[in-house]
């Protein structure tokens, strides 16, 4: 069974992500790419995230194994916020 917040009737988590590598980024101007490169250089992993990395986190949060995780803000930003 899906755990439900007893006071409000539903559960939630927030996934905060920084930059996800998608084709739109590739189509940006060189100035946009410079800005993105500046942000990416400040992450611990030194690269943009990929959509599959965020979707894997979302999939995990939907599993019964994650049923005790609720009301959280989960940062998936390559270590930018550390």
pTM value surpassing 0.85:
no
**Mean predicted lDDT score pLDDT of the chain:** 81
* Separation of alpha carbons 28 and 19, rounded Å: 14
Q: What is the pLDDT of residue 11?
A: 72
Confidence of residue 1 (pLDDT cuts 50, 70, 90): very low
Residues 28-56 have pLDDT tens digits of: 666 667 777 888 899 999 988 888 999 99
Q: Which residues, at least 6 apart from 16, have a Cβ–Cβ distance to it below 8 Å?
A: 73, 74, 75, 76, 77, 81
Q: Range with the lowest mean pLDDT among 14-23, 28-37, 58-67? A: 28-37
Task: Measure the CA–CA gap between 20 and 31, rounded to whole angstroms.
Answer: 18
């Amino acid at each position: 069974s899906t755990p439900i917040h007893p006071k409000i009737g539903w559960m939630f988590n927030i996934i905060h992500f920084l930059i996800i590598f998608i084709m739109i980024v590739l189509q940006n101007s060189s100035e946009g790419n410079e800005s993105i490169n500046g942000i990416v250089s400040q992450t611990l992993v030194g690269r943009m995230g990929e959509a599959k990395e965020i979707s894997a986190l979302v999939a995990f949060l939907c599993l019964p194994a994650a049923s005790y995780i609720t009301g959280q803000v989960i940062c998936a930003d390559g270590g930018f916020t550390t």
